[in-house]
Amino acid sequence: MPAKIRLQRFGKKGYAYYHIVVADARAPRDGKFIEKIGNYNPNTNPATIEIDRDRAMEWLKNGAQPTDTTRAILSYKGVLYKYHLTKGVTKGVLTQEAADAKFAAWENEKLSKITNKASNLADAKRQDVKSRLADEAKVREARAKAVQEKMAAANAPAPAEGDAAEATGGEEAPAEGN
């Protein structure tokens, strides 16, 4: 029975999340599976991935083939790199301690990249909120100024009839009539 490591879709339309499962290659996408080894939620930024590395490694050693998307997820979480280092240890190319040190260094670098991305996203969100608040304050000030001008115009004393005639050049408009 050929086994595949693949995604099993859950969630509502437009808001999917996935379980990472090991299943028979002939089984339908959301059908019967052998073992659930993790979760993948692409709706968050950065995407939330929880995976049991040991079980994934075990299935890779037993010959399970990951799909393209699952391969990318396993690579992102370091499972494929650890599998690669384990193969090197079994062939005698490097020691277990050296492989563990390389993996720990890779994992620290990856973790720092993820935390930097999350902090940059949070900073960008804060800056966006600040700029929107500043724009709203400008609009509010402009409206307040317009209201004050309107109130000042309404409170100004109305010119007398004689003053109106002087303003038009001393001529009164002819009266229309019969």
> Do strands 35-41 and 48-51 pair parallel, antiparallel, or not at all (unpaired)?
antiparallel
What average pLDDT does the structure give for the chain? 87
Q: What is the mean pLDDT of residues 66-93?
A: 92
Exposure string of 142-162, with b = 16+ CB inside 10 Å and e = fewer, is: eeeeeeeeeeeeeeeeeeeee
Q: What is the mean pLDDT of residues 83-93?
A: 90
Q: In what order do the strands lie in the sheet with 48-51?
A: 48-51, 35-41, 15-24, 3-12, 65-66
Q: Could you give the percent of the chain with pLDDT greater than 70?
A: 88
pLDDT of residue 4: 93
Q: Please check the confidence at residue 140 and state whether its pLDDT lies above 90.
A: yes
Which residues, 6 or more positions from 81, have their beta carbon under 8 angstroms from its beta carbon? Answer: 75, 103, 106
Confidence of residue 162 (pLDDT cuts 50, 70, 90): low
Which alpha helices (DSSP H) does the chain contain, by range? Answer: 53-61, 68-77, 79-91, 96-155, 161-167
Q: Please check the confidence at residue 159 and state whether its pLDDT lies above 90.
A: no
Q: Could you give the percent of the chain with pLDDT greater than 90?
A: 61
Find out whether 79 and 19 touch, Cβ atoms under 8 Å: no
Q: Which residues pair with 24 in a beta bridge?
A: 3
Give dist(CA 21, CA 39) in Å, integer: 9
Q: Please check the confidence at residue 33 and state whether its pLDDT lies above 60.
A: yes
Confidence of residue 131 (pLDDT cuts 50, 70, 90): very high
Q: Please check the confidence at residue 103 and state whether its pLDDT lies above 80.
A: yes
pLDDT of residue 176: 61
pLDDT of residue 35: 93
Q: For residue 7, how far is the Cα from the chain centroid?
A: 21
Give dist(CA 45, CA 23) in Å, integer: 28
Q: Please check the confidence at residue 47 and state whether its pLDDT lies above 60.
A: yes
